């Protein structure tokens, strides 16, 4: 084989090898796409958890700062009433 045909053949083989590694080898483009999908899912999960943490921090601050928040929680969740108050329960009319 002459030198004029050998160089393009070697370059073509190298190109084929690099393309194979790019599409099918370790750390290939499909691997990159799969990893990007995992990253997107993790970012979304982190955002949801951060939002939940912010709500919990706000609840904690309300409970630390104000007795009104504690009183409101006690009334709503435990059904407590203050001394001297009268509790009324209004039931919906039966149809």
CA 60 to chain centre: 23
Q: Is 78 exposed, middle or buried (0-12, 13-18, 19+ CB in 10 A)?
A: exposed
* Selection from 85, 61, 65 nearest residue 75 by Cα: 85
Structure tokens that stand for 39 in this block:
């990253």
- The pTM (predicted TM-score) of the whole model is 0.50
Q: How many angstroms separate the CA atoms of 18 and 22, rounded?
A: 6
Residue 94 confidence (pLDDT): 81
pLDDT (tens place) for every residue of the chain, 95 residues total? 677 888 888 889 998 888 888 888 888 888 899 999 999 999 999 999 999 999 999 888 877 887 777 787 788 788 788 888 887 778 888 87
The H or E element that residue 61 is part of is helix 29-65
For the chain, give every domain's residue range.
Answer: 27-79
């Amino acid at each position: 084989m002459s030198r004029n045909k050998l160089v393009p053949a070697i370059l073509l083989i190298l190109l084929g090898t690099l393309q194979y590694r790019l599409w099918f080898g370790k750390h290939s483009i499909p691997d990159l796409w799969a990893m990007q999908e995992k990253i997107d899912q993790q970012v979304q999960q982190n955002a949801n958890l951060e939002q939940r943490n912010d709500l919990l921090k706000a609840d904690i601050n309300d409970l630390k700062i104000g007795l009104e928040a504690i009183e409101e929680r006690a009334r709503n969740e435990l059904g407590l009433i203050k001394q001297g108050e009268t509790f009324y329960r209004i039931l919906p009319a039966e149809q």
